Amino acid sequence: SFPSSVSTLSIFILQAYKVDEKAAEQARWEEASKETIKKTTKPCPRCHVPVEKNGGCMHMKCPQPQCQLEWCWTCSCEWNRTCMGDHWFDV
Ligand SMILES: [Zn+2]
Ligand SMILES: [Zn+2]
């Protein structure tokens, strides 16, 4: 009958909405953690291992024992004189 189909439909919508909400929340959370990882790690320019940024210093050192490249967070290249003058700290 008409009333029962309406209530079935509204329950269906409510459940679908709840699932959506949960999925959206999960997606937001994943997006936020991805953003955090993106902001605090960058790949080493030589061996591409993810390196975590440490404070406001732009002078990075690769943690891989066989690499240990010193590089610039801003330029994503090997540490050089320009970086030493301009990129030592976050502006
Ligand atoms: Zn490296
Ligand atoms: Zn630089």
Distance 51 CA to ligand 2 centre (A): 16
Neighbours of 22 (CB within 10 A): 10
**Cα distance between residue 16 and residue 5, in whole Å:** 16
The string of DSSP codes covering 45-87 is: TTT--EEE--TTB-EEE---TTT--EEETTTTEE--HHHHHHS
Please give the pLDDT value at position 15.
84
Measured from the alpha carbon of residue 43, the closest ligand is 1
* Residue 57 annotated as catalytic: yes
Please give the pLDDT value at position 2.
58
Measured from the alpha carbon of residue 62, the closest ligand is 1
- Domain boundary assignment for the chain: 1-40, 44-91
- Residue of 68, 65, 40 lying closest to 54 (CA atoms): 40
Distance 91 CA to ligand 1 centre (A): 25
Q: What digits encode the pLDDT tens for the residues 41-66?
A: 999 999 999 999 877 789 999 999 99
Average pLDDT, the chain: 87
Catalytic hit among 44, 57, 67, 77: 57
Please give the pLDDT value at position 59.
92
